[in-house]
Every structure is written in structure tokens, then in C-alpha cells.
Amino acid sequence: MAFAGLAPADAGPEPGYVRVGAPLIVTPQDDFAGYRFFLDSPGGFEEIKLAKGKTTTISSEGRAGSMKYTSLIAISNQDLGGAFDGPATPETMDALQAAIRDKKVDGVIELLSHDFDAYIKKKEKKTWKNPAYVLKASADKKIEAVETKPAGKKKGEIEGEESDSHMAANIAAGSLLSLSFIFGGVWLSRRKRDLSVAQA
């Protein structure tokens, strides 16, 4: 899997942002009994068990350094072959990761890439919701991961505050209303003056 160009693991958030843990949340929509699923990170390789209709949450705790970036991959039992049929021991996982790196395993499906850290604006921390993924059968009868958007406010809107676009619209409307009062007052003043002159 490709991890080139990733930010240093100890890089802190930019000013105005905070770092929060972002667990990996996955729910298979269909039955993928013929596949095995793995997390492939620069710092390790591990198998995870997924079942149809059951949400699995991979915690972000303890996943620092080279373990904070991962790819969720799927490989069919047929493509794995007999060499990796046994239990997922550290030795077999290391061997499988090396075989994948060396392009010796066919049918590797990279479903998604995930960072167990999320960098969000401080003011959005209370309303930020962790993304989740649904696994479903793809058009080619394999597997695809679809990110599900959490329910809540629209992007840019947070509890008790307005989005930038909404605020800008309100400011513009207020400015137009103020201008209308100003010009209306000027017109009335001139109108009264003209009537006074005419009566004189």
C-alpha cells in the first residue's frame, strides 16, 4: 500500500486546530464470507473480523507513530491460497505483508485509507462527528467502501454559530436594509423641504 508523502507522525495541529482520535468504523452491508480483511500500516499488519450488518469499531488508542496511518484491504480466500490459510499469527501476518509488498498476492482490494488522528477547527470540536464506512458489493462483484456522512449540521455550521456563508448573507442583508433607511430618510427630508418652499 502507498504511504508516501504522509505528514510526520509527531506533527502537531496548525494554529486554530486540535487533534482528536478518529476510530475506524466499518459496517459490511453484504455477506463477504469468502474474504478476509486486514489493516496494512507502515508499522504492522493485522487481520480484523467483519460480519454482515455488524458495525466494527477499530479504536484509535495506541495507534501512534507509524501505526496511525492504515489501509483497509480485502483478499479473497481463493487469492490467499494455502500459504495463509492458518491462524493470523504475527509470523504469518509479517509474511503476508511482505508478499503483498512484493506483488506476490493477486486480488488485493484496497478499500480505504485512514488516519487515526483528525485535525479539526477548535470551534467545531463539540459537534464534529467521526466518519464511518459501509462495505458493499461492487459492480464487478467484488467489494467497495462507501463513506457515510454523519447526520448533523451542514459543513461549516456548528452549534450556536452560523456558517461563514450564512453570516455573510446576513451582513449583506443588514447593510442593504441600513442603506434603504438612509436613502429613505434623505428623500423624506428633501420632500419636506420642497413642500415648505412651495408653500412659501
What is the full per-residue pLDDT of the chain (200 aa) written as tens digits? 544 444 444 567 888 999 999 999 999 999 999 999 999 999 999 999 999 999 999 999 999 888 999 999 999 999 998 778 778 899 999 999 999 999 999 999 999 999 999 999 999 988 999 999 999 999 888 999 999 976 444 443 333 333 343 434 444 444 444 444 445 554 445 554 554 444 44
pLDDT of residue 13: 82
One domain, residues 118 and 176:
no
The domain tally of the chain equals 2
Question: Is there a domain that residue 169 lies in?
Answer: yes
Element (H, E) at 194: helix 164-199
Paired with 37 in beta bridges are: 48, 74
Residue 25 falls inside a structural domain = yes
What's the grid cell of residue 85?
490459510
Q: Is 187 helix (H, G, I), strand (E, B) or coil?
A: helix
Q: Does 100 map to a domain?
A: yes
pLDDT of 147 reads: 94
Instruction: Enter the pTM of the model.
Output: 0.69
Torsion of CA 152, 158, 163, 167, to 10 degrees: 130
* pLDDT for 185: 52
User: What pLDDT is attached to residue 1?
Assistant: 55
Domain presence at residue 5: no
143, 62: one domain: yes
Residues 173, 87 share a domain: no
Please indicate, yes or no, if residue 105 is contained in any of the structural domains: yes
Residue 1 is assigned to a structural domain of this protein: no
Please check whether residues 73 and 136 belong to one and the same domain.
Answer: yes
- Count CB-CB contacts under 10 A for residue 57: 12
Which three-class secondary structure state does DSSP give residue 132? strand
Residue 77 shares a structural domain with residue 55: yes
Mark whether 130 and 194 lie in a shared domain.
no
Give the up-direction half-sphere exposure of residue 172: CA atoms within 13 A in the CB hemisphere.
6
Amino acid 101: pLDDT: 94
User: Does a structural domain hold residue 61?
Assistant: yes
Residues 48 and 129 in one domain: yes
The pair phi, psi for residue 68, each rounded to 5°, is: -75, -20
Residue span of the structural domain in which 105 resides: 17-148
